[in-house]
Structures are given as C-alpha cells and as structure tokens.
Amino acid sequence: MFLDLRSCLSSAHPSLAMSSTVLELGITAGKQTRTPITTKGTALLLLSYQTLGIIYSDVGTSPLYTLNGIWSASGPPPSKEDVIGGVSAIIWALTMIPLLKYVIISLYFGTMQGEGGSFALYQGVYPPEERDVDSDRVLTGDSVTLQTSVGSRGKLIKKLRWPLFVWALLGVSLTLADGIFTPAVSVTSAVGGIGVVQPSVLKNIQGISIAFLLTLFLSQRFGTAGLSWLFSPIAALWFLSLLLIGIYNVTTYPSIFRAFDPSRAVMLFVRTKNYDLLAGIILALTGSEAVFANLGQFNVASIRLSFTTMVYPSLIFAYLGQGARLIADPENVIQNVFYKSIPGAQNGPLFWVVFVFGILATLTASQAMITAVFSLTQQLINMKSLPPLRMIYTSETIQGQIYIPAINWILMIATIAVVGAFNDLAALSNAYGFSVATVFFVTTVFITIHIVQVKKLPFVVGLGYFIVWGFIDAAFWGACLKKVPHGAWVPLMLGGILIAIMLVWSWGKRLEDDFDSANRGSLRRFIVPYSSIDDQKIDQFKPKRVTEVLDNDDSALDEYNRDELFYVAHGQEGSGEVKQLTRIPSCAIFHKITSGKGVPHTFVGFIRQWPALPQLVVFLSICVLPAARVPAEDRYTVTKVRTMDGFYGVTYYLGFRDDYDVRVEDVIERICVLESTIGGHNPEALSALLAKIRSVSQISTHITPHYHVLSKPVGGGRLWSPVATWVRRSMLEGVYHRMATMFPETANWLTSADQIVHVGINAVI
C-alpha cells in the first residue's frame, strides 16, 4: 500500500539516501529518547566544575543560617555538650542524606534518558510507551494496542498508578515551591550579615535582598552553561573559604572532633528532650534534592566527583569550625554564628571579603533550585502533566539545559512576594524546612519501589532501605510538621495549588488524547474512489460494503478513477451518507497530535465542515530527537499512499534546539524526490505531475484540531451522581478547557497564524 522515500532512496538512488547522521540519531531504529551524558577526562573535570555553581551552591550556603536555626540568636547560648551534639547531628545528617542517599544511591535510579527527581522516579516505574515513528505515516491501518500479561506484583503496581502519580506530583510541587523559598532564605540570610557591623541597615534588608533577586532572575535567559561559568568560580572560592575558615576555627577548640561520634547526636535529644531541634538541623540539608533533580543537566560521574572531593569536606569543616567558635565564645557568636565566626576584626577586610562572597554564593544557591525547577518543569511538560509552555534550549550538547520564561517570571514574582511578606527569618526557615522534609520522604518511597519493581532486587533490600531512610525522613518531617502554624503552611498551600493544576491538566489531557486516538481511523474508511457508480447507485451504496471491499481486496481499487473521491460517513451522526469531494488546487497539512496509525480526527471534521479536498494532502507527525539540531535535508521522511493520488504521510524530525518551523517548500521537494524515484511515469507525465505538485503547494494551510471539551455525565443512578457530574463538568469544561485555550499547541510555532486553521470538534470525554 505504501512507498517510503527512505527505502526508495536507499535502493534506487544510493547517492540520495539519508545521511548516516540520521541513522545514528535512531530514526530507523525507532529510538527517539535522550541518553545520559557520558564524559571522561578533561570534559568530566569541566562538567564537575560546573556542578559547583549549579547544584551545590544551595547546600553550600546552609552554614549561613543552620546553627542559628537550631539555637536562636534571641535565646541563651547552648552548652558545650549541646553544641557538640548539634554539630554531630549535622555531620551525620549530611552523611546519611546528601552523601549516601542522594549522591551514592539515588543517582542509580535516574531514567534511561538521564533525568532525575521525583517525577523521573515515577517514570521509571511507569515508563512511557515506546513510539513507533514509522507507524505514524501508515494512513490506511487501524491502531492496535498490544496487551501484555502482568504478574501479581505487576497488577498491584498497575492499581497504584494514580496514587503514586499523585505522590510524585506532591514531591514535584514542593520542589517547585522550594525554588521559591531557596532564593528568599539564602539571599536574606546573607544580606543579614551586614547587621553585624551596621545594625541600622537591618531595616533595609528586604529591599536589598529584592534588588539582588531581581538581578538573578533577569540573568536566567543566558542559560545554564553561561551562568555556570559565572557562578562556578564563585562557588569554588566559597567552598574553599568555608574549608579554610573551618580548619582555622577548629583550632580554637580541637575537642569539637568528638562530634564524629554519632552517640553525641543521640545524647543531645535524650538530654534535652527537644525534638524540635530536628527542624533546625534539616536546614543543613536544604538543596540535597537538587542533586537528584539536576541530574539531567549533568551526569552521575560529575556530580559524585565534585561532592566527594570539594563539597562534603568543606561543609564538614565549616560546621566543625562554627561549633568550636560557639563553644569558645558563646555569648558573642550566638548573635550570628556564621559572621561572628569569621577570624579577625569584626569590621576587618576578611569579614567584608566573606560577606561579598556570601552574597554571591547565595545567588548561586538560588540558581541551583531555579535550574532544578526548569528541569522538573521540562519533565512535566514532556509527560503532558503541565500545559505546553515555551522552552528555550540553551546548550548545543545537553538537552536538559533549558530556560522557561514563564516559570522564571512566576518564580521571580513569588520569591519577591515571600521576601516582602516574611519579616521574621525564623518563620521563613520554618516554611523552607517543611517542603525539604516532604520531598525527602517522597523520594524514599519511590526508590523503595524501584529497588523491588524496577531493579528486581530482593524484597528485603527494599524493605531495609525504607526502614533506614524512611525513619530518618519521617523524623525530620514530623519535626517540621509542628512548624505548619508558624510559616510551614505556605509551601503546603503552594504545593496544594500546583498539585491541583497538574492533576486537572494530566487528567484532561489524557482524556482528550484518548478521544483523539479513538477517533483516528483508516483513510479508506472515509475516502472512497468509486467513480464507476452513478449518482443514483451512490445513494443506495452501503458504507459497510465499501469498507469490506477496500479492506479485503486492494486490487478492486484499480478499476476506479482515482481523481474522483467520495466521503463516506460512519458512526451514528450521518451514518451511511456519501458525498462527492471536489478537489481544490491547494495543499493541506493535517497535524497529528497523538501517535499511531490512521488519519487524525481533524481530517474527518474538516471534510464534514468543508466538503472539499485539497489536491495535495499531507498528514504530519512530529518526532523530537536527542540531538541539538537535525540537518535540513534529513528532517522529513515521506510515505505515499499508492491507491489514492495526492495523499502523503510525513514525519518531521527535530533536534531539541530546532525551532518548530514546518517549511512547506522542503516537504514538497521531498515529495517530488519520492515521486521521481518510484517510477511508473513517462517523462512527460512525471514532469506534469511535479509541476502540478509545486503549483498547488503555493497555497498551503496547516490544519489542527480545536477540541471543545464536553464532559460525559457520571452514570450509575446513585444519589451522588448529579454532584459527581457537576464536579466533573466544572473541572473539564470550566478549568481544563480554559487552560487548553490559554496554552494552545500552536503557540510556539513559527508558522504564520494566517496559515493555521483550527477545526472545531466537540470532544465528549
């Protein structure tokens, strides 16, 4: 039934065959997914260097506020044993959470595309179906769903799909909320250091912090790679200063090394019976989730190398040094543990050097979470759990390095609002810690499932992991939960709003795509070449018989005049109706929004509304490849419908940095190459055909569906059915449909709006 340009070129004209670049990208193999970044040698060192400014700047700036988060500056200084116990708790928390849980263990559980984070873990349990790109160009076949059997464990996981999806969205939404609080807490804490030498400036801290934040968000358009070369030197010098100052401060009280004994941390809680101290200790771990969430921006080796050689030692000595100074000079240092621990004069040159680097380091810390938010948003958009926001790819080699303008401006507004609303830094820290603790627990649950379900390790391994890290995460979460009335309600509220938006969009988009797939069918069911039957017989002709003849005997088509085509209506509405279609000299490109065989529902809706058929009909599907750019000559693969003139299936291949710009003239040239290659025409006929194709393509229109979503009533006849019907209608027609209208699929096309026709279709879902 079909002739494929790629097969024709490779057999008849090897010189015109697609380049090996396309084959390497996986077009013929059907592989369209990204692959993890692999580097070694100098490239690995450079990538590890970049991680300092993007991933670790958040956890690296925690020493600015952690000890004062445990012991408030307004309260009495802690005892010597309490300080040792508190530092011990921080050291072992850093060892168990960022080092072991995230850097060593979690990085093994990224997706096959090298993505990390809560949603990536969900994708690992429920991977998206492998797409057969070639089947998208099959226009006369019906879609077939392969049913596979699953074992008892698989059945349980299948039933848990929606609960785990909500659980994943909880982790993602609170990580997104974290992207608001990280800049607010970090920058405000750093700027607050000026109050150590100039207390009168404290009243202006909010305004100064907002000015720095504005500069940060306005610089995001330069991309991750560009910013990393600016921020990485700052982060490297910051970690070096933490290490050197920490080593110096340890000499003021060498016995602080007793903090490496974990029993000191246990005795702190036994002695004080103050469980709330954990809400302050968790501040030392903020940014740990960015290690995993930013996996798509870098790779496993670079993340591990930079953390173990630079970040972890610097943080350990920073907290040891602060603890030593707090023991040596408790009354003075408790006022601001970080800045009061800086050696030398209070207003000396070293103080101001560290202050400046503290400001710059907190800006890089904010960058870590902003970058993580971009990565998570990209995953959500690709999985159709968020509207299709515009994404700008900022790297020629790494697909995960992106900039999303809409998210950047939302984060900027929300962060500035949080800084302005929270006058008390303690309340801001309470809000911060709660979202961090919740994300920790979400990750633990998913990794436990991965160990058993994906990695196929013994159940006892998953259980052991859950007991150890589930206990630690639950302890932190319980302490932070008590802070809900004192500021932690803010991320909880933001997370709830984000979850609601993502759930409604995911649900509505899935129903809409299911509707689109269900109404996609064989071209031969709708378009029939049947000129040998006169008008009177056409009215008596049964569509069922047409379908049987055409589906079972392709040779029967040879007796028909293919220049005259008829539309045969199916379904309840207009069933049995036959309309002759007038061929008009133009080109129509019908865009397929879901993958699979057959023609899209848009085509049927178009024929029903305008009973005319362009002489050149192209059904276009999109495939984004894991490469920055695809050469222009390799972007289109064309398939021709043999039994009907003027019908073609086209796959449009894009690199992740290519603009969505369907150039009709390029498509036409590929069609002309195909027609010239397949033969069957004498030179005069071929020349006339090619001239006709080029002529009609001068008038081209892109046709996409505009689904008007209508909600099905909830059946069952129960008392709550009318209420459920109203809620369902409100969500789908009132919320989802309005969002879909605000964020259309065509918003990022470079094609002129004058060339796009939206075919209105009622989608009862």
What domains lie within the chain, and their CATH numbers?
2-25+519-764 (no CATH), 48-126+153-472 (1.20.1740)
pLDDT digit string, tens, across residues 143-201: 333 333 334 445 667 778 888 888 888 888 887 777 787 777 777 777 776 666 666 66
pLDDT digit string, tens, across residues 88-135: 999 999 999 999 999 899 888 876 555 677 777 887 788 766 667 777
CA 108 to chain centre: 19
Q: How far is CA 386 from CA 195, 303, 379, 411, 510, in A?
A: 43, 28, 9, 16, 12
Check residue 711 and report its DSSP letter.
P
Partners of 578 in the β-ladder: 568
Residue 718 has pLDDT above 90, yes or no: no
The DSSP annotation for 143-210 comes to --PPP----HHHHHHHHTHHHHHHHHHHHHHHHHHHHHHHHHHHHHHHHGGGGGT-GGGGGGHHHHHH
Q: Band of the pLDDT at 8, cuts 50, 70, 90?
A: very low
Average pLDDT across the chain, whole number: 77
CA 721 to chain centre: 36
Residue 458 has pLDDT above 70, yes or no: yes
Tokens describing residue 137: 């160009």
> Is residue 590 exposed (0-12), middle (13-18) or buried (19+ Cβ within 10 Å)?
buried
pLDDT value for 4: 45
pLDDT digit string, tens, across residues 269-320: 999 888 888 888 988 998 787 777 767 667 788 888 889 999 999 999 999 9
Q: Which residues contact 593 (CB under 8 A, 6 or more apart)?
A: 513, 516, 600, 704, 705, 745
Q: Which residues contact 209 (CB under 8 A, 6 or more apart)?
A: 184, 187, 188, 191, 419
Torsion sign (Cα): 621, 623, 628, 631: negative
- Provide the whole-model pTM: 0.74
Partners of 616 in the β-ladder: 587
Residue 246 has pLDDT above 90, yes or no: yes
Residue 580 has pLDDT above 50, yes or no: yes
Q: How far is CA 167 from CA 179, 271, 496, 733, in A?
A: 19, 36, 12, 25
Q: Band of the pLDDT at 427, cuts 50, 70, 90?
A: low
Going by C-alpha positions, the residue among 648, 228, 654, 153 that lies closest to residue 399 is 654
Q: Band of the pLDDT at 468, cuts 50, 70, 90?
A: very high
Tokens describing residue 504: 């409604």
Give the least confident one: 28-32, 307-311, 741-745: 28-32
Tokens describing residue 413: 């507004």
